[in-house]
Amino acid sequence: MLRGEIEKLIKDIVKKDVHLEHPANLEFGDFSTNVAMQTKIDPQKIISKLKDNQLFEKIEVVGPARPHRYAKRSGQGFINFFLSKNALTEEVSEILSKRDDYGSLDVGQDKKVQVEFISANPTGPLTVGNARGGPLGDVLANILNKAGFKCEKAFYVNDAGMQILTLGHSVLKDDQAKYQGEYIDQLNKKIKEKDPFKAGQLAAKHIIKDLIQKTTDKLGVKYDEWIFESDLHQLKKVDQALSFLKKKGLIYEKDEAEWFKSKQFGDERDRVMIKKDGNNTYLAGDIALHRYKFEDKKFDQVINIWGADHHGDVPGLMAGVEAIGHKDKLKVILLQFVTILDKGEKQKMSKRAGLYVEMDELLDKVGPDAVRFFFLQKSADTHLNFDLALAQEQSAKNPVYYIQYAHARICSILRKAELKGNNKDLDSLNHPTELNLIRQLIKFPEMIEDIARDYQVQRLPYYSLELAHSFHKFYEQCRVLDKDKKIAQARINLVKTTQIILKNTLGLMGINAPEKM
């Protein structure tokens, strides 16, 4: 990766970790750093050591936009690096050689990571709100695997709590019924069990198999593990976790309940583990679950993607994870809400209860490609407004259509080109749109590394849009099948490289890369 190579060159000079950024305007180069200001080192020292490196066309210093306290004294500012044409075309050659392996990194060093996502209560069909984490968790896991982690995807099924008893009452249609809808009517006909809790457990199994799993399959999510809370109880995992905390003196009795000393681990208050009625709280099960993840499954890192309504549960679980000896190994990402808009109006598409939008209905209306892309566009901490009309539009206004059309156009060009042999001639690539397209292509491994470190998956759809835009601009200004065979061959190679990266980008997002449209 070029960025990493250049960062290492600078680090060897300044003896400090360096992170390069892309200037917003190409007139300031391909990469920029303010390391001279940070280290008080003369930027000319860096330039003198790197000016003859073939990676660079030129290196220059510009003053900071806002004067730094050291800048006046020593003339320090931002150092801008302009890549040479040779550096750009060499990277194209590497893409052609590595193909699908381009962008594969060793950031993870084979560390085991689990991403748990959706994990909605098995009391009904998936809504767009509780399924928002589907694309995010799935794609984050894909990225982590690409970055060198060994990542698994998991769905945790809460099938042992009070919501299961409530589900049972609903299926039996007694005076404590809460859930309603066509699926409850169907379960009422199927389930003959009269005990409400047992009826609820049977109903939960049907809901997982007949509703939730079918929706996740339709969404394109394949889990490595479905973890059932009832199994944790059956295997005594919850009892063992509570016993472990008691032996450490972290459980005490108060008001006829048993409490966990979570304040000792930075929580704002202690948390109830066993209620007055003798039933465990969710926290007791969650701590047992994470003990299973870290000690039985041996994960080095666990990432949970939860709805924002669970924000109050995070401190207690963080305290619990630290108490069982796995501090800093858990990351919780909270997702904000989803609103479906059609021509600016809020939509309620549900055929069942009219209170929520089911993910199945959205998938039927716009397809999984549009759902995944639009859900990925916003960061987890941002409310998502899903534009139904835009997602259904078959034009360049629709970003999914625009990107997929770029891939289809590339495939059409390559079919006409009848590319033969392995000629990697790239010397004829000189047009600004050709070089700018290459600049987009070589950002691919940088994006993999950045997402693997900070989990900001929304970079991926924006990158695919920028890449498609750069390709369309190149195509408009450069005749690929030029009369000059040398130019034609170079451009065909560039188009082939673009196909490799665009297809891989779409693949990481779980979106189809059509060859014809």
Residue 499, domain member (yes or no): yes
Residues 349 and 484 in one domain: no
Would you tell me how many other CB atoms lie within 10 Å of the CB of residue 440? Answer: 19
Region for 110 from its dihedrals, namely left if φ exceeds 0, alpha if ψ lies in -120 to 50, beta otherwise:
left
User: How far is Cα 498 from Cα 471, in angstroms, rounded to an integer?
Assistant: 8
CATH of residue 413:
1.10.730.10
Give the 3-state secondary structure of residue 103. coil
HEC letters along 223-255: CCEEEEHHHHHHCCHHHHHHHHHHHCCCEEEEC
Q: What is the pLDDT of residue 298?
A: 98
Nearest to 323 by CA among 255, 274, 276, 273: 273
Q: What is the DSSP letter of 59?
A: E
- State the chain's mean pLDDT as an integer: 93
- Residue that finishes a domain, picked among 56, 83, 110: 83
Residue 442, domain member (yes or no): yes
CATH of residue 127:
3.40.50.620
Residues 123 and 223 in one domain: yes
Residue 296, domain member (yes or no): no
Residues 184 and 71 in one domain: no
Q: Name every residue whose Cβ is closer than 8 Å to that of residue 31 and which is 6 or more positions away in sequence.
A: 3, 6, 20, 21, 22, 23, 80, 81, 83
Instruction: State how beta strands 251-254 and 78-83 pair.
Output: unpaired
Residues 7 and 142 in one domain: no
Residues 343 and 473 in one domain: no
Residue 267, domain member (yes or no): no
Q: What is the pLDDT of residue 63?
A: 72
Please provide the DSSP assignment of 17-35 as one string.
----B--SSGGG-SEEE-H
Cβ(95)–Cβ(502) below 8 Å: no
Number of folded domains that form the chain: 3
Residue 189, domain member (yes or no): yes
Q: What is the pLDDT of residue 66?
A: 44
In the sheet with 338-342, reading across from the earlier edge strand, the strands are 345-346, 338-342, 384-387
- Residue that finishes a domain, picked among 392, 409, 424: 392
Residue 344, domain member (yes or no): yes
CB environment 330-358: b (16+ within 10 A), e (fewer): bebbbbeebebebeeeebebbebbeebbb
- The parent domain of residue 363 ranges over 118-231+336-392
Residues of the chain with pLDDT under 50: 65-75, 349-354, 421
User: How far is Cα 67 from Cα 335, in angstroms, rounded to an integer?
Assistant: 38
Residues 37 and 73 in one domain: yes
Q: Name every residue whose Cβ is closer than 8 Å to that of residue 48 and which is 6 or more positions away in sequence.
A: none
Tokens 């759809």 belong to which residue? 461
Give the 3-state secondary structure of residue 468. helix
Residues 380 and 414 in one domain: no
Residue 488, domain member (yes or no): yes
Q: What is the pLDDT of residue 355?
A: 59
User: How far is Cα 233 from Cα 225, in angstroms, rounded to an integer?
Assistant: 17
Residues 418 and 457 in one domain: yes
Residues 46 and 95 in one domain: no
Q: What is the pLDDT of residue 422?
A: 54
Q: What is the pLDDT of residue 343?
A: 81
Q: Name every residue whose Cβ is closer than 8 Å to that of residue 85 and which is 6 or more positions away in sequence.
A: 57, 429, 430, 435
Residues 409 and 380 in one domain: no
Report the greatest alpha carbon distance in the chain: 87
Q: What is the pLDDT of residue 76?
A: 61
Q: What is the pLDDT of residue 40?
A: 82
Number of H helices, E strands in the chain: 22, 14
CATH of residue 66:
3.30.1360.70
Q: What is the pLDDT of residue 74?
A: 41
Residues 215 and 351 in one domain: yes
Residues 403 and 493 in one domain: yes
Residue 179, domain member (yes or no): yes
